[in-house]
Amino acid sequence: MVARFNTDLSIDTTFGQGGVVVVKDNADVNVQPGGGIVVGLGSVTRLLP
């Protein structure tokens, strides 16, 4: 499960469904040096700027 939070630590409800995206066991998760998180699911369904 991946969740996104706002700077005030409240959940960002614009992300996924209610702020949460459920990923399968075979997803690749990588934390970048700047703190960004990349989740590889095998396909891209939507890109946000």
pLDDT in tens, 11-44: 999 988 998 888 777 677 778 888 887 777 665 5
**Which residue type, as a one-letter code, is found at position 8?**
D
What pLDDT score does 37 carry?
Answer: 79
Helix (H, G, I), strand (E, B) or coil at 33: coil
Structural domains of the chain, count: 1
Structure pTM?
A: 0.54
**16: exposed, middle or buried (C-beta count within 10 Å: 0-12, 13-18, 19+)?**
middle
